[in-house]
């Protein structure tokens, strides 16, 4: 949230510097993300007077000016503004100054053969407005030579991060309240009174400041001039418990006064018109969203109700939104005009021709607002406040404050107030013990100081320490919340740092076996040249549904874990697989010109467990996209990744995780997300799936806006079985054998459709006492091999233990290998 120092001082009587205010904000838990100093970008610009203006000798639309800067001789400046003339007082950018709008650094230069020593500036060039038809015209008595930042009154702007539990600080007044409680000044109360005299910014606000208070005082209201001509009601008491409104006739809409535009600009808002700007001012100043409708565009009663199936709303952002019956809207007899609490409609918005307005100040259910905003993927300043929880007791005061501002600024006369429904008024009442500040907060604070802090924050503290929370603090529900309030205002720096006790001797390892496994596999993946990605654990439902896994144990789909209160509609489902997030990361990198991607991620996938619990599984995902090898004179064309690349990564990382990779079987059924025939699973037996790998199915790739072959692998680290008596597959220390190994080669004729892995596995298991490894080193089909068959050559490594092999020993082992291969229909090739 952004606000200027001047705006803050409207509500806080303080002489503190910008640095002191920033330090205080950080100390009380309102993090200052940045401070903008407009004076810095206006450095080098001065108030100057044009002494003479003559036509440029070489250009019809340019003039040559002599300009008095208040120091030394006048400067010669070439200017093309139509309003440049002798006697005009404006703003001169001197050589070396940087023009805010485009970053151009001014310098002495020749323009059409005439030297120019700077530039006379427009409001747009200095980012002070949108006018660029002419240069700025200042009053004739403006002090010549004064730095323009000093003359203009450039105001520092704070950018403060507001946490979701602090709806009271979504307005400048709430931030001022916190600073006053921390002792940085006195809080000015804001009351709606008689019209103030003109001549000051505060008078222009149409408000008066009186004694210190934690919240603008409730008001009896402006005496109405006529009954409200429009029926106002709420037909959705759950979504909109209270709807207050009134009509103001005879207003004159137009540009806002300068003080109002300055405050909105400091908050990052673009001034639109007086009526719209005043509603934004009340929202930003007091955290109370409101809306003004053009009465001439409304038909019949104005009602807060549920949307009907098929209804739409053209919002102020120019987009049309399809509504559902779960959403609250503001409508009249003609249809929907407002997505309640989020954004107004374009049809009934105020314009320069508006003369009569209907003001709406309502209370909307925070959960309903949040759900609607996520469903429509629509964010706004109003939504950010309503879904946090606005003060339900500020309805009348907010409406009266907005009324007075409009009457002061736009004129007109107001009707009586219509109050439909009843806002919730139940605030938390907590039995508090001041000793909790020390037992829970770790700091002893005098009881009297705790009472002062709580009362300064707006809490009501009884003699028996029964504390009643104000309406603007829905986050306070118990005594620990009050301890937090007291301690943060007292000062977190006052809490003494106490080291944790430590036992004597060497500390025991604290990492769990799962953590050790995760670290080991992460290092191995990085060592293999993979780049680690960290993606969201939340996915859009469509992407998550596309990667729901089929569990081999029960052959049923694992139901998706969908959140009831997600961050946004695009983060509604917990990921059932790491691959969707990695594929999205791959797309972003490829779109930005990455030629080759080797990404991996270690994290949890989430399934719905028994009795509604979350079943979290440790998983590793790999995505290989782009070019495996670049084109070159030695390599030829660039080669993409294929299924065997994914398989190699899966086997290597499973081996690092301690899985018995030599015993794994390659089987199909990797899933519908994979390319049939170019994907498979790695299993221990038919049911225990340790990984799946292969090329992504073209339809899946298109769904993620990816093209070309995409090789992926997913390792289910949680499925790796532990050895007996151990918590995981631990690799023993290496002890080299005393005798040298012996290798023997075997060539077998097998059916062409027989997987080579089956033969290698059979050969290796033929004599487990002597055969330590077997690998395929040749696959030949052609001359000398019968039709429909292939020749597979396997290298077998034998390891003697007690003595070297005799010829008879080797023959016996060879017979076992041949017999094992024969069971698969393989014949030793002659």
Q: What is the pLDDT of residue 723?
A: 65
> Based on C-alpha coordinates, what's the Rg of the chain?
37
Residue 47: CA atoms inside 13 Å, Cβ hemisphere, count? Answer: 18
Ordered alpha helix ranges (H), 42-182: 148-152, 172-181
Pick the range with the lowest mean pLDDT from 345-354, 555-564, 669-678.
555-564
Please check whether residues 706 and 762 belong to one and the same domain: no
CA dist 699 and 678 (Å) reads 14
Q: What is the pLDDT of residue 552?
A: 36
Q: How many CB atoms lie within 10 A of CB 379?
A: 14
CATH number of the domain where residue 455 is located: 3.30.56
Residue 557 pLDDT exceeds 50: no
Model confidence pLDDT, tens digit, residues 456-485:
999 999 999 999 999 999 999 999 999 999
- Angle, nearest 10°, between helix axes 447-456 and 172-181? 160
- Greatest alpha-carbon span in the chain: 118
Residue 205 pLDDT exceeds 50: no
Confidence band of 41 (pLDDT split at 50, 70, 90):
confident
Q: Give the closest residue to 191 by CA, choosing from 66, 286, 261.
A: 286
Residue 508 domain-assigned?
Answer: no
CA dist 99 and 618 (Å) reads 54
Q: What are phi and psi of 466, to 5 degrees?
A: -85, 115
Please check whether residues 563 and 620 belong to one and the same domain: yes
Please check whether residues 339 and 441 belong to one and the same domain: no
Residue 572 pLDDT exceeds 80: yes
Is 555 known to sit in a ligand binding site?
A: no
Please check whether residues 407 and 260 belong to one and the same domain: yes
Residue 729 pLDDT exceeds 60: no
Please check whether residues 246 and 297 belong to one and the same domain: yes
Q: What is the pLDDT of residue 127?
A: 83
Q: Are strands 466-468 and 109-111 parallel, antiparallel or unpaired?
A: unpaired
Residue 663 pLDDT exceeds 90: no
Q: What is the pLDDT of residue 822?
A: 92
Model confidence pLDDT, tens digit, residues 598-613:
999 999 999 877 776 7
Q: Give the closest residue to 605 by CA, choosing from 721, 701, 717.
A: 717
Please check whether residues 298 and 438 belong to one and the same domain: no
Tell me the three state secondary structure of residue 661.
helix
Model confidence pLDDT, tens digit, residues 671-720:
899 999 899 999 998 889 999 999 999 999 999 999 889 999 999 999 99
Residue 501 domain-assigned?
Answer: no
Mean pLDDT of 418-425: 92
Residue 820 pLDDT exceeds 90: yes
Q: What are the CA-CA distances from residue 436 to residues 447, 547, 707 (Å)?
A: 11, 49, 61
Residue 334: domain span: 232-421
Domain boundary among 396, 421, 446: 421
CATH number of the domain where residue 747 is located: 3.30.70.380
Model confidence pLDDT, tens digit, residues 213-261:
454 544 445 567 899 999 999 999 999 999 999 999 999 999 999 899 8
Q: In 470-613, at which residue ranges do the beta strands (DSSP E only) sit?
A: 531-532, 538-539, 550-551, 556-557, 573-574, 596-608
CATH number of the domain where residue 576 is located: 3.30.930.10
CA dist 387 and 381 (Å) reads 10
Beta carbons of 744 and 758 less than 8 angstroms apart: no
Residue 434 pLDDT exceeds 60: yes
Q: In 370-428, at which residue ranges do the beta strands (DSSP E only) sit?
A: 413-414, 418-421
Residue 637 domain-assigned?
Answer: yes
Domain boundary among 126, 152, 178: 152
Tell me the three state secondary structure of residue 211.
coil
Give percent of the chain with pLDDT exceeding 90: 68
CA dist 77 and 561 (Å) reads 68
Q: What is the pLDDT of residue 214?
A: 53
Q: What is the pLDDT of residue 222?
A: 57
Is 475 known to sit in a ligand binding site?
A: yes
Mean pLDDT of 426-446: 92
CA dist 202 and 85 (Å) reads 36
Is 815 known to sit in a ligand binding site?
A: no
Residue 183 domain-assigned?
Answer: yes
Residue 829 pLDDT exceeds 80: yes
Question: Mean pLDDT across the chain, nearest whole number?
Answer: 88
The two structure tokens encoding residue 696: 């992504």
Confidence band of 553 (pLDDT split at 50, 70, 90):
very low
Residue 194 domain-assigned?
Answer: no
Please check whether residues 538 and 595 belong to one and the same domain: yes
Please check whether residues 522 and 595 belong to one and the same domain: yes
Environment class of residue 185 by beta-carbon count within 10 Å: exposed (0-12), middle (13-18) or buried (19+)? buried
Q: Which H or E run includes 54?
A: strand 45-55
Please check whether residues 535 and 652 belong to one and the same domain: yes
Per DSSP, the chain holds a count of helices (H) and strands (E) of: 21, 45
CA dist 475 and 489 (Å) reads 16
Residue 199 domain-assigned?
Answer: no
Beta carbons of 356 and 389 less than 8 angstroms apart: no
Q: What is the pLDDT of residue 129?
A: 76
Please check whether residues 237 and 298 belong to one and the same domain: yes
Is the pLDDT higher at 647 or at 633?
Answer: 647
Mean pLDDT of 35-43: 84
CA dist 407 and 249 (Å) reads 10
Confidence band of 726 (pLDDT split at 50, 70, 90):
low
The two structure tokens encoding residue 789: 């068959």
Q: How many domains does the chain have?
A: 6
Residue 216 domain-assigned?
Answer: no
Pick the range with the lowest mean pLDDT from 142-156, 467-481, 691-705, 766-780.
142-156
The two structure tokens encoding residue 75: 């400067």
Please check whether residues 287 and 396 belong to one and the same domain: yes
Tell me the three state secondary structure of residue 210.
strand
Residue 787 pLDDT exceeds 80: yes
Mean pLDDT of 533-554: 78
pTM assigned to the model: 0.68
CATH number of the domain where residue 17 is located: 3.30.56.10
Q: How many CB atoms lie within 10 A of CB 92?
A: 30
Residue 524 pLDDT exceeds 70: yes
Residue 498 domain-assigned?
Answer: no
Ordered alpha helix ranges (H), 127-257: 148-152, 172-181, 201-204
Please check whether residues 285 and 378 belong to one and the same domain: yes
Give percent of the chain with pLDDT exceeding 70: 93
What is the end-to-end Cα distance of the chain in Å, rounded? 83
Q: What is the pLDDT of residue 731?
A: 54
Q: Give the closest residue to 128 by CA, choosing from 101, 103, 106.
A: 101
Mean pLDDT of 807-826: 93
């Amino acid at each position: 949230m952004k606000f200027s120092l001047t705006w803050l001082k409207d509500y806080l009587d303080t002489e503190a510097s910008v640095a002191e205010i920033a330090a205080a904000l950080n100390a009380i838990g309102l993090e200052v993300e940045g401070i903008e100093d407009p004076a810095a970008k206006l450095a080098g610009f001065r108030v100057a007077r044009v002494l003479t203006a003559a036509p440029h000798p070489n250009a019809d639309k340019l003039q040559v000016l002599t300009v008095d800067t208040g120091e030394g001789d006048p400067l010669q400046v070439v200017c093309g503004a139509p309003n440049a003339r002798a006697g005009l007082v404006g703003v001169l950018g001197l050589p070396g100054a940087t023009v805010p709008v485009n970053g151009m650094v001014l310098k002495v230069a020749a323009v059409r053969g005439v030297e120019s020593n700077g530039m006379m500036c427009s409001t747009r060039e200095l980012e002070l407005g949108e006018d660029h038809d002419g240069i700025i015209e200042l009053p004739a008595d403006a002090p010549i030579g004064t730095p323009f930042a000093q003359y203009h009154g450039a105001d520092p702007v704070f950018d403060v991060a507001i946490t979701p539990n602090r709806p009271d600080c979504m307005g400048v007044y709430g931030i001022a309240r916190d600073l006053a409680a921390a002792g940085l000044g006195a809080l000015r109360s804001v009351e709606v009174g008689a019209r103030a005299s003109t001549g000051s910014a505060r008078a222009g606000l149409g408000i008066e400041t009186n004694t210190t208070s934690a919240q603008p005082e409730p008001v009896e209201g402006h005496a109405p001039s006529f009954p409200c001509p429009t029926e106002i009601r709420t037909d959705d008491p759950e979504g909109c418990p209270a709807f207050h409104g009134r009509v103001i006739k005879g207003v004159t809409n137009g540009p806002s006064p300068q003080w109002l535009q300055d405050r909105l600009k400091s908050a990052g808002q673009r001034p639109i018109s007086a009526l719209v700007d005043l509603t934004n001012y009340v929202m930003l100043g007091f955290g109370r969203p409101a809306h003004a409708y053009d009465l001439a565009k409304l038909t019949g009663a104005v009602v807060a109700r549920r949307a009907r199936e098929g209804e739409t709303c053209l919002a102020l952002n120019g987009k049309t939104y399809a509504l559902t019956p779960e959403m609250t809207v503001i409508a009249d007899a003609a249809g929907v005009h407002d997505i309640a609490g989020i954004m107004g409609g374009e049809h009934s918005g105020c314009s320069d021709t508006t003369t009569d307005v209907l003001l709406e100040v309502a209370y909307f259910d925070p959960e309903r607002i949040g759900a609607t905003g996520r469903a429509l993927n629509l964010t706004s300043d109003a939504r950010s406040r309503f879904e946090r929880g606005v003060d339900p007791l500020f309805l009348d005061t907010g409406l009266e404050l907005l009324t007075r501002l409009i009457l002061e600024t736009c004129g007109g006369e107001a009707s009586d107030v219509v109050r439909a429904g009843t806002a919730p008024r139940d605030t938390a009442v907590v039995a508090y013990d001041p000793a909790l500040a020390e037992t829970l907060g770790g700091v002893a604070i005098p009881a009297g100081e705790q009472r002062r802090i709580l009362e300064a924050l707006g809490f009501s503290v009884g003699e028996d320490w029964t504390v009643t929370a104000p309406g603007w603090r829905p986050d306070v529900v118990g005594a620990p919340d009050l301890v937090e309030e007291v301690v943060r205002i007292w000062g977190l720096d006052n809490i003494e740092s106490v080291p944790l006790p430590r036992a004597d001797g060497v500390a025991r390892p604290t990492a769990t076996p799962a953590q050790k496994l995760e670290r080991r596999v992460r290092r191995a993946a990085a060592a293999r040249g993979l780049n680690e990605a960290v993606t969201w654990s939340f996915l859009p439902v469509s992407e998550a549904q596309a990667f729901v896994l089929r569990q081999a144990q029960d052959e049923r789909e694992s139901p998706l874990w969908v959140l009831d209160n997600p961050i946004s509609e695009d983060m509604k489902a917990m990921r059932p697989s790491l691959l969707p997030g990695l594929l999205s990361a791959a797309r972003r990198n490829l779109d930005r010109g990455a030629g080759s991607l080797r990404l991996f991620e270690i994290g949890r996938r989430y399934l719905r467990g028994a009795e509604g619990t979350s079943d979290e599984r440790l998983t590793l995902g790999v995505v290989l996209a782009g070019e495996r090898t670049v084109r070159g004179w030695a390599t030829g064309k660039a080669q993409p990744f294929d299924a065997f690349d994914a398989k190699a990564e899966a086997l290597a990382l499973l081996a690092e995780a301690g899985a018995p990779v030599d015993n794994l079987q390659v089987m199909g059924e990797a899933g519908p997300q994979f390319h049939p025939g170019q994907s498979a699973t790695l299993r221990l037996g038919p049911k225990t799936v340790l990984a799946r790998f292969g090329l992504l199915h073209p339809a899946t790739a298109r769904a993620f806006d990816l093209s070309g072959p995409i090789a992926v692998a997913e390792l289910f680290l949680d499925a790796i079985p532990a050895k007996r008596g151990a918590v995981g597959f631990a690799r023993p220390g290496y002890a080299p054998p005393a005798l040298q190994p012996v290798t023997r080669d075997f060539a077998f004729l097998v059916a062409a459709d027989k997987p080579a892995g089956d033969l290698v596995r059979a050969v290796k298991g033929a004599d487990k006492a002597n055969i330590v490894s077997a690998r395929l080193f040749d696959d030949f089909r052609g001359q000398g091999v019968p039709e429909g068959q292939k020749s597979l050559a396997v290298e077998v490594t034998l390891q003697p233990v007690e003595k070297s092999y005799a010829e008879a020993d080797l023959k016996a082992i060879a017979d076992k290998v041949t017999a094992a291969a024969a069971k698969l229909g393989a014949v030793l090739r002659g």
